[in-house]
Structure 1
Amino acid sequence: MKSKFVLALVLVFLAGVATVPSAQTPTADQIMQMVENRFQGNDSQVQVQLDTTNAQGQTRTLQIETKSFLYDKQNIKYKILVTVTAPADLKSLAFLVWENKYPKPDDRWLYQPSLKTVKKIEPENARTSLFGTVFNFEDVNGRPAEADTHKLLRNEPIEGRQAWVIESTPKNPSIVEFSRRVVWIDQESLAILKEELYDKQKGDLLRVFKLAKQEKIDNIWTNLIATVEHVQTQTKSKYTYSNVKYNTGIPESAFDPNNLGK
Protein backbone atom coordinates (compact mmCIF):
# COMPACT_ATOMS: atom_id res chain seq x y z
CA MET A 1 0.00 0.00 0.00
CA LYS A 2 2.09 2.89 -1.24
CA SER A 3 1.80 5.63 -3.91
CA LYS A 4 -0.43 5.83 -7.00
CA PHE A 5 1.81 4.48 -9.73
CA VAL A 6 2.51 0.87 -10.68
CA LEU A 7 5.27 0.56 -13.27
CA ALA A 8 4.04 -1.12 -16.45
CA LEU A 9 6.18 -4.02 -17.63
CA VAL A 10 5.54 -6.43 -20.48
CA LEU A 11 6.82 -9.83 -19.38
CA VAL A 12 6.69 -13.30 -20.92
CA PHE A 13 6.74 -16.29 -18.57
CA LEU A 14 6.78 -20.07 -18.88
CA ALA A 15 3.71 -20.95 -16.81
CA GLY A 16 4.06 -23.74 -14.28
CA VAL A 17 7.82 -24.17 -14.64
CA ALA A 18 10.40 -22.95 -12.12
CA THR A 19 13.09 -20.98 -13.99
CA VAL A 20 16.31 -19.13 -13.35
CA PRO A 21 15.74 -15.35 -13.71
CA SER A 22 16.55 -14.20 -17.26
CA ALA A 23 17.76 -10.92 -18.71
CA GLN A 24 14.14 -9.91 -19.40
CA THR A 25 13.09 -10.33 -15.78
CA PRO A 26 13.01 -7.12 -13.70
CA THR A 27 15.53 -6.84 -10.89
CA ALA A 28 14.66 -7.68 -7.30
CA ASP A 29 14.74 -3.98 -6.39
CA GLN A 30 12.38 -3.13 -9.26
CA ILE A 31 9.94 -5.87 -8.25
CA MET A 32 9.84 -4.82 -4.60
CA GLN A 33 9.33 -1.19 -5.64
CA MET A 34 6.44 -2.27 -7.89
CA VAL A 35 4.89 -4.11 -4.93
CA GLU A 36 5.25 -1.02 -2.77
CA ASN A 37 3.83 1.29 -5.44
CA ARG A 38 0.75 -0.71 -6.45
CA PHE A 39 -2.35 1.44 -6.28
CA GLN A 40 -4.77 0.55 -3.47
CA GLY A 41 -7.34 3.28 -3.97
CA ASN A 42 -7.54 6.90 -2.81
CA ASP A 43 -9.17 5.55 0.33
CA SER A 44 -10.53 2.22 1.52
CA GLN A 45 -12.70 0.76 4.25
CA VAL A 46 -12.94 -2.92 5.23
CA GLN A 47 -14.28 -5.18 7.97
CA VAL A 48 -11.83 -7.80 9.22
CA GLN A 49 -12.33 -10.91 11.33
CA LEU A 50 -9.05 -11.82 13.01
CA ASP A 51 -8.86 -15.29 14.59
CA THR A 52 -5.79 -16.16 16.68
CA THR A 53 -5.17 -19.71 17.91
CA ASN A 54 -2.48 -20.50 20.48
CA ALA A 55 -0.41 -23.66 20.96
CA GLN A 56 -3.12 -25.12 23.23
CA GLY A 57 -5.74 -24.79 20.50
CA GLN A 58 -7.58 -21.89 22.14
CA THR A 59 -8.93 -19.32 19.67
CA ARG A 60 -9.70 -15.65 20.28
CA THR A 61 -11.62 -13.66 17.68
CA LEU A 62 -11.41 -9.93 17.05
CA GLN A 63 -13.67 -7.89 14.80
CA ILE A 64 -11.80 -4.97 13.31
CA GLU A 65 -12.55 -2.04 11.03
CA THR A 66 -9.67 -0.78 8.90
CA LYS A 67 -9.61 2.52 7.02
CA SER A 68 -6.87 3.93 4.80
CA PHE A 69 -6.34 7.30 3.15
CA LEU A 70 -3.91 8.17 0.34
CA TYR A 71 -2.26 11.38 1.58
CA ASP A 72 0.86 11.48 -0.62
CA LYS A 73 2.25 14.85 0.46
CA GLN A 74 4.53 16.34 3.12
CA ASN A 75 6.58 13.10 2.98
CA ILE A 76 3.54 11.10 4.16
CA LYS A 77 2.21 8.39 1.82
CA TYR A 78 -0.76 6.72 3.51
CA LYS A 79 -2.68 7.17 6.75
CA ILE A 80 -4.19 3.97 8.18
CA LEU A 81 -6.62 3.51 11.07
CA VAL A 82 -7.37 0.13 12.68
CA THR A 83 -10.22 0.01 15.24
CA VAL A 84 -11.44 -2.99 17.26
CA THR A 85 -15.24 -3.34 17.23
CA ALA A 86 -15.50 -6.62 19.21
CA PRO A 87 -15.19 -8.24 21.74
CA ALA A 88 -16.54 -5.81 24.31
CA ASP A 89 -13.39 -5.74 26.47
CA LEU A 90 -11.33 -4.42 23.54
CA LYS A 91 -13.99 -2.37 21.75
CA SER A 92 -12.75 1.04 20.51
CA LEU A 93 -9.08 0.09 20.95
CA ALA A 94 -7.48 1.83 17.97
CA PHE A 95 -4.16 1.99 16.16
CA LEU A 96 -3.22 4.81 13.78
CA VAL A 97 -0.21 4.90 11.47
CA TRP A 98 1.10 7.61 9.19
CA GLU A 99 3.27 5.89 6.61
CA ASN A 100 6.22 8.19 5.97
CA LYS A 101 8.57 8.15 3.02
CA TYR A 102 11.79 6.24 3.70
CA PRO A 103 14.06 6.70 5.61
CA LYS A 104 11.85 8.55 8.09
CA PRO A 105 10.23 6.04 10.50
CA ASP A 106 6.46 5.78 10.38
CA ASP A 107 4.44 7.61 13.03
CA ARG A 108 2.18 5.33 15.10
CA TRP A 109 -0.33 5.94 17.88
CA LEU A 110 -2.35 3.59 20.09
CA TYR A 111 -5.66 4.66 21.66
CA GLN A 112 -6.54 2.80 24.88
CA PRO A 113 -10.25 3.32 25.67
CA SER A 114 -9.99 2.03 29.24
CA LEU A 115 -7.55 4.85 30.02
CA LYS A 116 -8.92 7.28 27.43
CA THR A 117 -5.34 8.00 26.39
CA VAL A 118 -3.40 8.16 23.13
CA LYS A 119 0.13 6.74 23.28
CA LYS A 120 2.82 7.34 20.66
CA ILE A 121 4.51 4.07 19.62
CA GLU A 122 8.25 4.45 19.19
CA PRO A 123 9.90 2.94 16.07
CA GLU A 124 11.78 0.32 18.09
CA ASN A 125 8.42 -1.08 19.28
CA ALA A 126 6.92 -1.40 15.80
CA ARG A 127 7.37 -5.18 15.74
CA THR A 128 5.48 -5.88 18.94
CA SER A 129 2.22 -7.83 18.76
CA LEU A 130 -0.85 -6.09 17.36
CA PHE A 131 -3.77 -6.65 19.76
CA GLY A 132 -2.28 -9.97 20.94
CA THR A 133 -2.17 -11.55 17.46
CA VAL A 134 0.73 -12.96 15.42
CA PHE A 135 0.61 -9.74 13.40
CA ASN A 136 2.65 -6.79 14.64
CA PHE A 137 2.32 -3.04 14.29
CA GLU A 138 4.69 -2.92 11.32
CA ASP A 139 2.56 -5.46 9.43
CA VAL A 140 -0.27 -2.93 9.10
CA ASN A 141 1.57 -1.05 6.35
CA GLY A 142 4.60 -3.27 5.66
CA ARG A 143 8.32 -2.59 5.35
CA PRO A 144 9.57 -0.05 2.80
CA ALA A 145 11.49 -1.64 -0.06
CA GLU A 146 14.47 0.63 0.59
CA ALA A 147 14.94 -0.78 4.10
CA ASP A 148 16.25 -4.10 2.75
CA THR A 149 18.73 -5.49 0.25
CA HIS A 150 16.95 -7.74 -2.25
CA LYS A 151 18.01 -10.74 -4.34
CA LEU A 152 15.87 -12.44 -6.99
CA LEU A 153 16.24 -16.18 -6.46
CA ARG A 154 13.98 -17.66 -9.13
CA ASN A 155 10.57 -17.71 -10.82
CA GLU A 156 8.21 -20.52 -9.83
CA PRO A 157 4.50 -21.38 -9.51
CA ILE A 158 2.79 -21.38 -6.12
CA GLU A 159 -0.86 -22.28 -5.57
CA GLY A 160 -1.51 -21.95 -9.29
CA ARG A 161 0.03 -18.48 -9.55
CA GLN A 162 3.37 -17.63 -11.19
CA ALA A 163 5.64 -15.89 -8.68
CA TRP A 164 8.98 -14.18 -8.28
CA VAL A 165 10.88 -15.52 -5.26
CA ILE A 166 12.95 -12.82 -3.56
CA GLU A 167 15.25 -12.94 -0.56
CA SER A 168 15.57 -9.73 1.47
CA THR A 169 18.04 -8.88 4.22
CA PRO A 170 17.64 -5.81 6.46
CA LYS A 171 20.12 -2.97 6.01
CA ASN A 172 19.79 -2.21 9.73
CA PRO A 173 19.37 -5.62 11.41
CA SER A 174 19.54 -4.18 14.92
CA ILE A 175 15.98 -2.80 14.73
CA VAL A 176 14.22 -5.90 13.36
CA GLU A 177 13.49 -9.39 14.69
CA PHE A 178 14.62 -11.31 11.61
CA SER A 179 17.89 -12.00 9.79
CA ARG A 180 16.31 -12.47 6.36
CA ARG A 181 12.98 -13.00 4.68
CA VAL A 182 11.90 -14.81 1.54
CA VAL A 183 8.79 -13.65 -0.34
CA TRP A 184 6.79 -15.06 -3.24
CA ILE A 185 5.38 -12.17 -5.34
CA ASP A 186 2.40 -12.76 -7.63
CA GLN A 187 3.58 -11.67 -11.09
CA GLU A 188 0.08 -10.47 -12.06
CA SER A 189 -1.38 -8.84 -8.95
CA LEU A 190 1.96 -7.98 -7.24
CA ALA A 191 0.54 -9.37 -3.99
CA ILE A 192 2.77 -11.23 -1.54
CA LEU A 193 1.55 -14.82 -1.82
CA LYS A 194 3.89 -16.18 0.84
CA GLU A 195 6.53 -14.80 3.19
CA GLU A 196 9.02 -16.60 5.41
CA LEU A 197 10.92 -14.80 8.19
CA TYR A 198 14.06 -16.33 9.72
CA ASP A 199 15.32 -15.46 13.21
CA LYS A 200 18.59 -13.76 14.09
CA GLN A 201 19.75 -16.33 16.63
CA LYS A 202 20.22 -19.46 14.51
CA GLY A 203 18.61 -18.52 11.22
CA ASP A 204 15.67 -20.81 11.98
CA LEU A 205 12.23 -20.28 10.46
CA LEU A 206 10.36 -17.79 12.64
CA ARG A 207 7.12 -16.78 10.93
CA VAL A 208 5.18 -17.74 7.79
CA PHE A 209 2.58 -15.61 5.98
CA LYS A 210 0.29 -17.18 3.35
CA LEU A 211 -2.28 -15.46 1.17
CA ALA A 212 -5.21 -17.84 0.73
CA LYS A 213 -7.55 -15.69 -1.38
CA GLN A 214 -7.38 -12.53 -3.45
CA GLU A 215 -9.71 -11.03 -6.03
CA LYS A 216 -10.35 -7.81 -7.90
CA ILE A 217 -12.76 -5.37 -6.27
CA ASP A 218 -13.40 -2.15 -8.20
CA ASN A 219 -10.54 -3.28 -10.47
CA ILE A 220 -8.11 -3.34 -7.51
CA TRP A 221 -6.45 -6.60 -6.48
CA THR A 222 -7.53 -7.14 -2.87
CA ASN A 223 -6.35 -9.61 -0.22
CA LEU A 224 -9.38 -11.39 1.28
CA ILE A 225 -8.05 -14.30 3.38
CA ALA A 226 -4.55 -14.77 4.81
CA THR A 227 -2.77 -16.48 7.69
CA VAL A 228 0.36 -15.80 9.70
CA GLU A 229 1.93 -18.57 11.77
CA HIS A 230 4.58 -17.99 14.43
CA VAL A 231 6.40 -21.29 13.96
CA GLN A 232 8.38 -21.17 17.21
CA THR A 233 5.41 -20.41 19.49
CA GLN A 234 2.92 -22.44 17.43
CA THR A 235 0.52 -19.52 17.36
CA LYS A 236 -1.49 -18.76 14.23
CA SER A 237 -3.61 -15.81 13.15
CA LYS A 238 -6.06 -15.74 10.27
CA TYR A 239 -7.70 -12.66 8.85
CA THR A 240 -10.79 -12.57 6.66
CA TYR A 241 -11.80 -9.38 4.85
CA SER A 242 -15.43 -8.45 4.08
CA ASN A 243 -17.42 -5.39 2.99
CA VAL A 244 -14.41 -3.97 1.14
CA LYS A 245 -15.07 -0.48 -0.21
CA TYR A 246 -12.76 1.81 -2.17
CA ASN A 247 -12.87 5.54 -2.88
CA THR A 248 -15.76 6.33 -0.54
CA GLY A 249 -14.59 9.81 0.44
CA ILE A 250 -13.40 9.12 4.00
CA PRO A 251 -12.53 12.51 5.58
CA GLU A 252 -8.89 13.14 6.39
CA SER A 253 -9.90 14.17 9.92
CA ALA A 254 -10.57 10.49 10.70
CA PHE A 255 -6.80 9.97 10.68
CA ASP A 256 -5.89 12.74 13.14
CA PRO A 257 -4.35 11.35 16.37
CA ASN A 258 -6.17 14.09 18.27
CA ASN A 259 -9.47 12.57 17.15
CA LEU A 260 -8.78 9.02 18.31
CA GLY A 261 -11.54 7.86 20.63
CA LYS A 262 -13.93 10.63 19.60
Structure 2
Amino acid sequence: MKKVVLSLMFSLLPGIAFAEDINAEVISVEPVQIEEINTEQKGFEVMQEMDKRDMGWGDMSTSMQMVLKNKNGDEHVRNLKMTTLEMQDDGDKSLSIFDSPRDIKGTAFLSFTHALDADEQWLYLPALKRVKRISSSNKSGPFLGSEFAFEDLTSFELKKYKYNYLREEVVDGIDSFVIETYPQYKHSGYTRNIVWVDKERYIPIKIDYYDRKDALLKTQTFNDYQQYLDQYWRANNSYMENHLTGKSTTLVWENYTFRNGLTERNFDKNTLKRSR
Protein backbone atom coordinates (compact mmCIF):
# COMPACT_ATOMS: atom_id res chain seq x y z
CA MET A 1 0.00 0.00 0.00
CA LYS A 2 2.87 2.37 0.90
CA LYS A 3 4.42 1.92 -2.58
CA VAL A 4 1.11 2.79 -4.22
CA VAL A 5 0.70 5.97 -2.13
CA LEU A 6 4.28 7.10 -2.86
CA SER A 7 3.86 6.44 -6.58
CA LEU A 8 0.63 8.43 -6.60
CA MET A 9 2.28 11.38 -4.83
CA PHE A 10 5.18 11.52 -7.27
CA SER A 11 2.84 11.16 -10.26
CA LEU A 12 0.91 14.23 -9.11
CA LEU A 13 3.99 16.44 -8.59
CA PRO A 14 4.44 17.46 -12.26
CA GLY A 15 0.76 18.38 -12.48
CA ILE A 16 0.90 20.42 -9.28
CA ALA A 17 3.95 22.31 -10.46
CA PHE A 18 2.34 22.93 -13.85
CA ALA A 19 -0.83 24.23 -12.23
CA GLU A 20 1.08 26.71 -10.06
CA ASP A 21 2.95 28.28 -12.96
CA ILE A 22 2.41 27.10 -16.49
CA ASN A 23 5.28 29.29 -17.66
CA ALA A 24 7.74 28.21 -14.98
CA GLU A 25 11.26 27.61 -16.27
CA VAL A 26 13.00 24.35 -15.66
CA ILE A 27 15.93 24.94 -13.24
CA SER A 28 18.92 22.70 -13.65
CA VAL A 29 20.49 21.78 -10.31
CA GLU A 30 24.16 20.89 -10.42
CA PRO A 31 25.17 17.96 -8.22
CA VAL A 32 27.07 18.99 -5.08
CA GLN A 33 30.76 18.18 -5.39
CA ILE A 34 32.14 16.73 -2.16
CA GLU A 35 35.86 17.32 -1.92
CA GLU A 36 37.73 14.23 -0.89
CA ILE A 37 40.47 14.64 1.70
CA ASN A 38 43.80 12.97 1.12
CA THR A 39 44.20 11.84 4.73
CA GLU A 40 47.82 10.79 4.32
CA GLN A 41 48.80 14.17 2.89
CA LYS A 42 46.82 16.13 5.46
CA GLY A 43 48.30 14.10 8.31
CA PHE A 44 51.78 14.77 6.96
CA GLU A 45 51.07 18.50 6.59
CA VAL A 46 49.87 18.84 10.19
CA MET A 47 52.97 17.12 11.56
CA GLN A 48 55.21 19.03 9.15
CA GLU A 49 53.83 22.30 10.49
CA MET A 50 54.37 21.13 14.07
CA ASP A 51 57.97 20.26 13.21
CA LYS A 52 58.59 23.54 11.37
CA ARG A 53 57.37 25.69 14.26
CA ASP A 54 59.89 24.07 16.60
CA MET A 55 63.01 24.75 14.55
CA GLY A 56 65.78 27.22 15.29
CA TRP A 57 66.13 27.12 19.10
CA GLY A 58 69.75 25.95 18.90
CA ASP A 59 70.40 24.24 22.22
CA MET A 60 68.50 23.76 25.46
CA SER A 61 69.18 22.91 29.10
CA THR A 62 66.64 21.94 31.74
CA SER A 63 66.27 20.29 35.12
CA MET A 64 63.92 17.35 35.41
CA GLN A 65 62.26 15.34 38.15
CA MET A 66 61.17 11.81 37.26
CA VAL A 67 58.46 10.32 39.47
CA LEU A 68 57.92 6.55 39.13
CA LYS A 69 54.69 5.18 40.59
CA ASN A 70 53.66 1.52 40.79
CA LYS A 71 50.10 0.20 40.69
CA ASN A 72 49.89 0.42 44.51
CA GLY A 73 50.72 4.12 44.42
CA ASP A 74 54.26 3.83 45.82
CA GLU A 75 56.55 6.52 44.42
CA HIS A 76 60.26 6.75 43.65
CA VAL A 77 61.71 10.14 42.72
CA ARG A 78 64.77 10.77 40.57
CA ASN A 79 66.39 14.09 39.68
CA LEU A 80 68.44 14.78 36.60
CA LYS A 81 69.69 17.45 34.25
CA MET A 82 69.21 17.32 30.51
CA THR A 83 70.88 19.17 27.64
CA THR A 84 69.87 19.01 23.97
CA LEU A 85 71.58 20.19 20.80
CA GLU A 86 69.51 20.89 17.68
CA MET A 87 71.17 19.46 14.59
CA GLN A 88 70.77 20.58 10.98
CA ASP A 89 69.67 17.84 8.55
CA ASP A 90 69.70 15.21 11.30
CA GLY A 91 68.06 14.36 14.60
CA ASP A 92 68.92 16.11 17.85
CA LYS A 93 71.59 15.07 20.34
CA SER A 94 70.72 14.89 24.02
CA LEU A 95 72.50 14.11 27.28
CA SER A 96 70.76 13.26 30.56
CA ILE A 97 72.70 13.00 33.85
CA PHE A 98 71.10 11.77 37.07
CA ASP A 99 71.85 13.68 40.29
CA SER A 100 69.83 11.60 42.78
CA PRO A 101 69.04 9.31 44.49
CA ARG A 102 72.42 7.94 45.50
CA ASP A 103 71.98 4.53 43.85
CA ILE A 104 71.56 6.11 40.42
CA LYS A 105 73.67 9.27 40.82
CA GLY A 106 76.13 9.72 37.96
CA THR A 107 74.19 7.53 35.55
CA ALA A 108 74.19 9.26 32.16
CA PHE A 109 72.29 8.69 28.94
CA LEU A 110 73.47 9.97 25.55
CA SER A 111 71.21 9.85 22.49
CA PHE A 112 71.79 10.73 18.83
CA THR A 113 68.51 10.71 16.93
CA HIS A 114 68.42 9.98 13.19
CA ALA A 115 65.59 10.02 10.68
CA LEU A 116 65.65 6.55 9.11
CA ASP A 117 69.03 5.27 10.23
CA ALA A 118 69.16 3.53 13.60
CA ASP A 119 69.36 5.94 16.53
CA GLU A 120 72.59 5.79 18.54
CA GLN A 121 72.22 5.57 22.30
CA TRP A 122 74.68 4.95 25.16
CA LEU A 123 74.23 4.49 28.89
CA TYR A 124 76.99 5.15 31.43
CA LEU A 125 76.63 3.05 34.60
CA PRO A 126 78.90 4.40 37.37
CA ALA A 127 78.68 1.19 39.41
CA LEU A 128 80.28 -0.68 36.50
CA LYS A 129 82.40 2.29 35.38
CA ARG A 130 81.68 1.57 31.76
CA VAL A 131 79.63 2.84 28.83
CA LYS A 132 77.01 0.47 27.48
CA ARG A 133 75.65 0.92 23.97
CA ILE A 134 71.91 0.36 23.64
CA SER A 135 71.19 -2.14 20.89
CA SER A 136 68.87 -1.04 18.10
CA SER A 137 66.75 -4.13 18.78
CA ASN A 138 66.29 -3.05 22.41
CA LYS A 139 64.85 0.42 21.80
CA SER A 140 61.42 -0.75 22.94
CA GLY A 141 62.77 -1.68 26.37
CA PRO A 142 62.02 0.48 29.46
CA PHE A 143 64.37 3.32 30.30
CA LEU A 144 65.78 2.67 33.80
CA GLY A 145 62.56 1.14 35.10
CA SER A 146 60.32 3.98 33.91
CA GLU A 147 57.27 3.74 31.65
CA PHE A 148 59.24 5.51 28.91
CA ALA A 149 60.93 3.29 26.35
CA PHE A 150 64.34 4.20 24.94
CA GLU A 151 62.65 5.08 21.64
CA ASP A 152 60.39 7.57 23.46
CA LEU A 153 63.44 9.61 24.42
CA THR A 154 64.48 10.62 20.93
CA SER A 155 63.59 13.82 19.10
CA PHE A 156 60.67 13.87 16.69
CA GLU A 157 61.87 13.46 13.10
CA LEU A 158 59.34 13.87 10.30
CA LYS A 159 60.76 11.09 8.09
CA LYS A 160 60.57 8.47 10.85
CA TYR A 161 56.83 8.02 10.38
CA LYS A 162 53.99 7.77 7.92
CA TYR A 163 50.85 9.70 8.73
CA ASN A 164 47.09 9.52 8.50
CA TYR A 165 44.66 12.30 9.39
CA LEU A 166 41.74 10.87 11.38
CA ARG A 167 39.53 13.73 12.55
CA GLU A 168 39.29 16.92 14.58
CA GLU A 169 38.43 16.64 18.25
CA VAL A 170 38.37 18.65 21.48
CA VAL A 171 40.60 17.12 24.15
CA ASP A 172 40.98 18.73 27.59
CA GLY A 173 39.19 21.78 26.19
CA ILE A 174 41.69 22.19 23.33
CA ASP A 175 40.55 21.99 19.70
CA SER A 176 42.92 19.46 18.13
CA PHE A 177 43.85 17.54 15.01
CA VAL A 178 43.97 13.78 15.55
CA ILE A 179 46.80 12.19 13.56
CA GLU A 180 47.79 8.54 13.30
CA THR A 181 51.54 7.90 12.94
CA TYR A 182 53.25 4.69 11.81
CA PRO A 183 56.93 4.13 12.72
CA GLN A 184 59.12 3.50 9.66
CA TYR A 185 62.26 2.49 11.55
CA LYS A 186 63.19 -1.05 12.55
CA HIS A 187 62.61 -2.60 15.96
CA SER A 188 59.94 -0.17 17.13
CA GLY A 189 57.78 -1.49 19.95
CA TYR A 190 54.74 0.22 18.45
CA THR A 191 52.55 -0.55 15.46
CA ARG A 192 51.14 2.97 15.53
CA ASN A 193 50.59 6.03 17.69
CA ILE A 194 47.68 8.46 17.77
CA VAL A 195 48.66 12.08 18.40
CA TRP A 196 46.37 14.96 19.39
CA VAL A 197 47.86 18.23 18.08
CA ASP A 198 46.68 21.64 19.27
CA LYS A 199 45.23 23.34 16.16
CA GLU A 200 46.35 26.81 17.24
CA ARG A 201 49.86 26.21 18.61
CA TYR A 202 50.74 22.98 16.78
CA ILE A 203 52.02 21.21 19.89
CA PRO A 204 51.22 17.68 21.09
CA ILE A 205 48.55 17.39 23.79
CA LYS A 206 48.22 13.62 24.07
CA ILE A 207 49.70 10.47 22.49
CA ASP A 208 48.28 6.93 22.55
CA TYR A 209 50.85 4.18 21.95
CA TYR A 210 49.76 0.83 20.47
CA ASP A 211 51.95 -2.24 20.99
CA ARG A 212 52.98 -4.86 18.45
CA LYS A 213 49.62 -6.60 18.89
CA ASP A 214 47.92 -3.28 18.10
CA ALA A 215 46.52 -3.01 21.63
CA LEU A 216 46.56 0.29 23.51
CA LEU A 217 49.68 0.10 25.68
CA LYS A 218 50.36 3.59 27.03
CA THR A 219 49.04 7.14 27.01
CA GLN A 220 51.20 10.23 27.38
CA THR A 221 49.73 13.64 28.20
CA PHE A 222 51.51 17.01 28.09
CA ASN A 223 50.48 19.75 30.50
CA ASP A 224 51.25 23.32 31.57
CA TYR A 225 52.95 24.57 28.41
CA GLN A 226 55.00 27.76 28.49
CA GLN A 227 56.46 29.69 25.57
CA TYR A 228 60.14 30.60 25.28
CA LEU A 229 61.95 33.01 22.95
CA ASP A 230 58.48 34.17 21.82
CA GLN A 231 58.10 31.02 19.71
CA TYR A 232 58.94 27.67 21.27
CA TRP A 233 56.49 25.82 23.51
CA ARG A 234 57.67 23.44 26.24
CA ALA A 235 55.54 21.40 28.63
CA ASN A 236 56.33 21.67 32.33
CA ASN A 237 54.72 18.30 32.99
CA SER A 238 54.37 15.04 31.07
CA TYR A 239 52.52 11.98 32.35
CA MET A 240 52.97 8.48 30.89
CA GLU A 241 50.46 5.83 31.98
CA ASN A 242 50.87 2.11 31.22
CA HIS A 243 47.41 0.63 30.75
CA LEU A 244 48.62 -2.96 31.09
CA THR A 245 50.65 -2.69 34.30
CA GLY A 246 48.93 0.20 36.06
CA LYS A 247 52.31 1.92 36.50
CA SER A 248 53.05 5.52 35.55
CA THR A 249 55.94 7.94 35.18
CA THR A 250 55.65 11.71 35.53
CA LEU A 251 58.30 14.08 34.19
CA VAL A 252 58.44 17.58 35.67
CA TRP A 253 60.67 20.12 33.91
CA GLU A 254 61.91 23.46 35.16
CA ASN A 255 64.66 26.03 34.58
CA TYR A 256 64.59 25.91 30.79
CA THR A 257 67.39 27.89 29.15
CA PHE A 258 68.16 28.18 25.44
CA ARG A 259 71.12 29.09 23.25
CA ASN A 260 73.72 28.35 25.89
CA GLY A 261 76.55 27.94 23.37
CA LEU A 262 76.63 24.13 23.46
CA THR A 263 78.43 22.31 20.64
CA GLU A 264 78.83 18.71 19.50
CA ARG A 265 81.84 18.43 21.81
CA ASN A 266 79.39 18.56 24.73
CA PHE A 267 77.72 15.42 23.38
CA ASP A 268 80.47 12.90 22.68
CA LYS A 269 80.93 9.55 24.43
CA ASN A 270 83.77 10.91 26.57
CA THR A 271 81.23 13.31 28.09
CA LEU A 272 79.46 10.29 29.62
CA LYS A 273 82.52 9.26 31.64
CA ARG A 274 83.09 12.84 32.78
CA SER A 275 79.46 13.24 33.85
CA ARG A 276 80.06 11.95 37.38
Normalised TM-score (structure 1) = 0.83
Q: Which residue of 1 aligns with 2:264?
A: 252
> Which portions of structure 1, spanning 4 or more consecutive aligned residues, are displaced by more than 6 angstroms?
20-23
Q: Which residue of 2 aligns with 1:54?
A: 70
Cα drift, residue 178 of structure 1: 2.2
Q: Which residue of 2 aligns with 1:4?
A: none
CA distance in 2: counterparts of 1:169 and 1:99, whole angstroms = 17
Q: Tell me whether 27-36 or 58-67 shows the greater mean CA deviation.
A: 27-36
Cα drift, residue 251 of structure 1: 4.0
Aligned partner letter, 1:192: P
Q: Which has the higher strand share?
A: 1
User: Which of 37, 43, 50 is the equivalent residue of 1:28?
Assistant: 43
Q: Does the 8 A contact of 1:21 with 1:153 survive in 2? A: no
Cα drift, residue 34 of structure 1: 2.8
CA distance in 1: counterparts of 2:36 and 2:68, whole angstroms = 37
Q: Which ranges in structure 1 are unaligned for 5 or more consecutive residues?
A: 1-19
Residues 1:92 and 2:103 are matched in the alignment = no
Q: Which residue of 1 aligns with 2:27?
A: none
User: Which of 115, 128, 131 is the equivalent residue of 2:144?
Assistant: 131
CA distance in 1: counterparts of 2:36 and 2:57, whole angstroms = 31
Residues 1:64 and 2:80 are matched in the alignment = yes
Which deviations, in whole Å up to 9, do the C-alpha atoms of 1:105-142 show, x marking residues without a partner? 11111111111111111211112111211012111224
Cα drift, residue 21 of structure 1: 9.4
Q: Which ranges in structure 2 are unaligned for 5 or more consecutive residues?
A: 1-34
Normalised TM-score (structure 2) = 0.79
CA distance in 2: counterparts of 1:156 and 1:22, whole angstroms = 17
Q: Which has the higher helix share?
A: 2
Aligned partner letter, 1:176: S
CA distance in 2: counterparts of 1:253 and 1:171, whole angstroms = 30
CA RMSD of aligned residues (A): 2.3
User: Which of 128, 131, 141 is the equivalent residue of 2:154?
Assistant: 141
Q: Does the 8 A contact of 2:92 with 2:112 survive in 1? A: yes
Aligned residues: 237
Question: Highest CA radius of gyration, 1 or 2?
Answer: 2
CA distance in 1: counterparts of 2:151 and 2:82, whole angstroms = 15
Change (3 A) 1:146 1:250: closer
Q: Does the 8 A contact of 1:76 with 1:98 survive in 2? A: no
Q: Does the 8 A contact of 2:113 with 2:155 survive in 1? A: no
